[in-house]
Structure 1
């Protein structure tokens, strides 16, 4: 039960961090492209890659990995918001931007996990 509650707390901290970063980016980014969600998701993917490498090479234990990835990064990242933004772009007839956002939302986070893994391996 304690593990469950700690994951919940870490998820809440991740959600608060996402809110702060999202609000900060949106204050200066006044364009149609949803940059804040994109930045948040690629940062989460990068840190997930580092965490995966750290766990794989036993630099961190499973509990720490669980709190950070399932908890904090689970609350921080937001794929559902990205999908909703894609639909909103498509509804406003910005089809090319919606498709481009879809592609980079899938491809770039994957590459960031790979980069994060590489950084995690190089740092050990």
Structure 2
């Protein structure tokens, strides 16, 4: 049990580093109001979570692998709390249209990506 705990921690750390690298890379060339880096990260995480869920459901991967990837890596990689904070910042900055668009896209597209991921993982 303790070994599994440490592995999840390590995978979470790897996910956080991957998020940092991707976030920094996107922000270097995207200098607009829409928080694209967080959006892309959460879309990718949702797609991967759907694929992993289907792989686990169809017994392609075991529970430990699923746990390490979804709870560990994707838990460190995805960042819903940052997305919410960015929505609030957009609204407080009176960028209502962008804030509402970001909120709508952040809630709807990850759901669709999980469904797409599940479909991909079930092939």
TM-score w.r.t. the length of structure 1 is: 0.97
Partner of 1:53: 54
| Aligned pairs (5 A) from 1:1-124 | 1-122=2-123
Structure 2 residue runs without a partner (length 5+)? none
Please report how far the alpha carbon of residue 97 of structure 1 lies from its aligned counterpart in structure 2 after TM superposition: 1.0
Query: What is the CA deviation profile of residues 63-117 of structure 1, one whole-angstrom value per residue up to 9, with x for unaligned ones?
Result: 0000000000000000000000001100110111111111110100000000000
| Distance in 2 between residues matched to 1:56 and 1:94, nearest whole Å | 42
Structure 1 residue runs without a partner (length 5+)? none
Please report how far the alpha carbon of residue 41 of structure 1 lies from its aligned counterpart in structure 2 after TM superposition: 0.1
| Distance in 2 between residues matched to 1:103 and 1:33, nearest whole Å | 13
Query: What is the CA deviation profile of residues 27-77 of structure 1, one whole-angstrom value per residue up to 9, with x for unaligned ones?
Result: 000101000000000000000000000000000000000000000000000
| Distance in 2 between residues matched to 1:22 and 1:4, nearest whole Å | 27
| Distance in 2 between residues matched to 1:66 and 1:99, nearest whole Å | 33
| Distance in 2 between residues matched to 1:92 and 1:102, nearest whole Å | 15
RMSD across aligned positions (CA): 0.4
